Amino acid sequence: MGPAEPASCRSADSSPVRDEEPEIASALIHNGTGEYLLHLRDNVPGIREPGCWSLLGGAREPGDRSLEDTVRRELREEAGLDLPALESFALAGAVDGGNEPPSVRVYVGQWDGEPARLPLAEGVMLRWFRPDDMDRLRMHPTTRELVRRHATGRATVPRGAVRHGTGAVPHIVGVHLYLEDSAGRVLLGLRHPDSAFAPGSWHFLAGHCEQESAVSCLVREAEEEAGLGIDPRDVDFVHALHQLPGPGRRPRLQLVFRAHAWTGVPEVREPDKCLGWQWFDPAALPERVVPYTREAIAHVRDGRPYSEAGWE
């Protein structure tokens, strides 16, 4: 039998949820081995869920363009996390000091790092837990239910295992821009040193498909990240890398497109992700290039449309 939950951690599972768009966003973060990242909050009166294990997140601020912006900002501020992909998962009730619980938009993302290495700015600690371990934790019942609902909808593998041919596994689709200037140099961006993925390395202008086509995603990311205007009619597919990044992680289909024309000069539009853009001779790339970026550039130059990595 688990420990009794304090009043601030207890709530009826049927807590009302407001109809209007919420002002709070949280992140349900899982890894490839079936564990979920929980945040032990400070035991301070006046805050939500004091002394309880909870999800990272917080309230929307005036500069946030969307609730996804809110949760991404909170992840960076609270734990130095910058996840490549977040998907809206649920609308849930939150614990609050008022009479009516506010609603929370919950986003799901995957991360496979070590919580103890994160620069935690708020709360006591971050730890991975399996759903079966959560009955013994002091936490809001709605949070526990969210974790279990997500866990029942995904297959997990033991830590260190690689899964082959055991059913359908959702793939992450990434799009990448292969851009050459008049001298044949390729455009790469230097990732921020605090990035969760490939910090301090050079990489394609890239992004993950949301509810959109791959080419639409490419056009959107080019404008958002570098201020470049690209007409979809000027885009050709040049390479696909089918990648298994590591044990227990979701497979990725990395699509590379070449744009033959564009407008604008590359500029840093997202300084929290990219420090600068630079053109490089493909035969003399810098030392710190994302490995699959270097591999994809070589394949594009050799005219190979498809490659695989990590499946051996």
List the CATH number of the domain containing 105.
3.90.79.10
Domain extent, residue 23, equals: 7-152
Mean pLDDT of 199-216: 93
Q: Is 42 helix (H, G, I), strand (E, B) or coil?
A: coil
My answer on whether 62 and 109 are in the same domain is yes
The structure tokens listed for 65 are: 């363009």
My answer on whether 189 and 119 are in the same domain is no
* pLDDT tens track for 72-109: 999 999 999 999 889 988 887 654 444 344 588 999 99
55 in a structural domain: yes
My answer on whether 177 and 126 are in the same domain is no
My answer on whether 177 and 130 are in the same domain is no
My answer on whether 21 and 131 are in the same domain is yes
**Contact assessment for residue 293 and residue 300, using Cβ atoms and an 8 Å cutoff:** no
Mean pLDDT of 35-55: 87
Domain count, the chain: 2
**Contact assessment for residue 86 and residue 72, using Cβ atoms and an 8 Å cutoff:** yes
My answer on whether 146 and 176 are in the same domain is no
My answer on whether 176 and 289 are in the same domain is yes
Mean pLDDT of 31-44: 89
My answer on whether 220 and 129 are in the same domain is no
For residue 232, CA distances in Å to 173, 175, 188, 213, 255 come to: 18, 14, 20, 11, 15
Give the pLDDT confidence score for residue 13 in this predicted structure: 38
1 in a structural domain: no
My answer on whether 183 and 123 are in the same domain is no
- Tokens 């490939």 locate to 198
167 in a structural domain: no
My answer on whether 203 and 303 are in the same domain is yes
The structure tokens listed for 7 are: 């009043």
Element (DSSP H or E) covering residue 216 = helix 214-226
Specify the pairing of strand 103-110 against strand 24-30. parallel
165 in a structural domain: no
User: Using CA atoms, how far apart are residues 19 and 3, in angstroms rounded to an integer?
Assistant: 33
| More confident call, 227 vs 153 | 227
Residue-by-residue DSSP string for 96-119: -SSSSPPEEEEEEEE--S-GGGS-
21 in a structural domain: yes
My answer on whether 229 and 193 are in the same domain is yes
Give the pLDDT confidence score for residue 42 in this predicted structure: 86
- For residue 176, the cross-strand partners are 206, 256
User: Using CA atoms, how far apart are residues 56 and 300, in angstroms rounded to an integer?
Assistant: 40
Of 90, 122, 152, the one marking the end of a domain is 152
12 in a structural domain: yes
Strands (E) across the chain are located at 24-30, 36-40, 53-54, 56-59, 87-93, 103-110, 125-129, 172-178, 186-191, 202-203, 205-208, 235-243, 252-259, 274-280, 306-309
